[in-house]
Amino acid sequence: MQRLSIKGIVFDMYGRVVDVGAVADACKEVAPEPAAFNAQWRAKQLEYTFLRTAMGRYKDFCVITGEALEFAIQRFNLQVTAEQRQSLMEAWLHPTPYPEVARALPQLKEKYVLAILSNGSPKMLGTGLEQTGLISHFH
């Protein structure tokens, strides 16, 4: 029997390293039910991603995030200014890491190569990792 040697660990950025629910804080500015609005936005974001992948019609995740935001705004019948839309989109660039992540990554990095695999665009991921101070842990 051959023993496997694990050399690296790959994390999904959103929902594993950073809390996507933290974007709900930005939603407080425009939605009376920010958690529900954020949940709808995230669900549509993932749905659009899966559908476009299945259809072979790639779009950058940042573009899909904007399209999903527009859907959620319409679904909740909200009046949102261009500045508020921009603020909501920028919330994805300033995620909140889960508390245990900052403690765990240095320990894991001692033994493994760490990487991110995500739907997120390079700008979203790079900026998010820089903002959280976690970028140095990932290859």
Distances (CA, A) of 68 to 7, 37, 96, 107, 129: 36, 11, 21, 36, 23
Catalytic pick from 12, 19, 25, 60? 12
Q: 99: which strand partners?
A: none
10 secondary structure, DSSP code:
E
Taking the C-alpha atoms of residue 136 and residue 88, their distance in angstroms, rounded to an integer, is 26
Of 91, 104, 101, which Cα lies nearest the Cα of 131?
91
Backbone angles phi, psi at 132, to 5 degrees: -85, -10
**Catalytic residue at 12?**
yes
Q: For residues 37 and 76, is the Cβ–Cβ distance under 8 A?
A: yes
CA distance 73 to 116: 30
Residues annotated catalytic, as ranges: 12
